[in-house]
Chains A and B, each alone.
Chain A
Amino acid sequence: DVKVTQSSRYLVKRTGEKVFLECVQDMDHENMFWYRQDPGLGLRLIYFSYDVKMKEKGDIPEGYSVSREKKERFSLILESASTNQTSMYLCASDKPGYEQYFGPGTRLTVT
């Protein structure tokens, strides 16, 4: 079974802190994705990566950056957390042309 894991289920940070969210997949998938999920807005793509060290901006990249140094790991970085970044963050991975597999999500609260 494909497994996508995320470093934290719940996270509370203060405004201005640097925040790292990590995602690991164990099925050698080329693509990895970071989404933000908010009620009534569905899933919005922040960034995705189609290979190591390669990334592309999604629909809402502002305030975020990403890092993919190894194929199995994809990190989302909030350089200076703000209260409007309080949200559920979902990581996903897939092979091109196939369905996405999701991690359990990280509920981030920025106070």
Chain B
Amino acid sequence: AQTVTQSQPEMSVQEAETVTLSCTYDTSESDYYLFWYKQPPSRQMILVIRQEAYKQQNATENRFSVNFQKAAKSFSLKISDSQLGDAAMYFCAYRRGTGNQFYFGTGTSLTVIP
């Protein structure tokens, strides 16, 4: 079974600074997708960024970027120029290429300090 590990239950960052959230996963598949989701307090879970395993280039979305290390099975999220609205629970997720099921990590709670 696939597992996704987020080893940092809580992180904090000063406003305007950069923070990196860690995620590792375990799989024997070669075709898969990785995701970072954001869940603000009392609000809906939304997709932050997505990475296809076959792509060597790291995905970026504005201030959000990933460091995808396929051999190490590592998928970290970097948030640059942190804003107060970035405060949320962040979940890393894995999906097999031909599968329906997502596997989620336990989440990292990010606090942004003004």
Chain A positions within 8 Å of B, measured between CB atoms, are: 31, 33, 35, 40-43, 45, 48, 50, 56, 58, 90, 92, 96-97, 99-105
Contact = CB atoms under 8 A, between A and B. Distances in A.
Contacts, number: 44
B101 A42 contact: no
Interface of B: 6, 9, 33, 35, 37, 43-47, 50, 91, 93, 97, 100-102, 104-107
Interface of A is mostly: strand
A41 B6 CA distance: 11
B9 A40 contact: yes
Contact of B44 (A35, A43, A56, A104): A104
B91 A43 contact: yes
A102 B35 CA distance: 14
Contacts of A58: 101
A45 B101 contact: yes
A99 B50 contact: yes
A99 B50 CA distance: 8
Contacts of B102: 33, 43, 45, 92, 100
A19 to B, nearest CB: 22
B91 A42 contact: yes
B37 to A, nearest CB: 8
Contacts of B9: 40
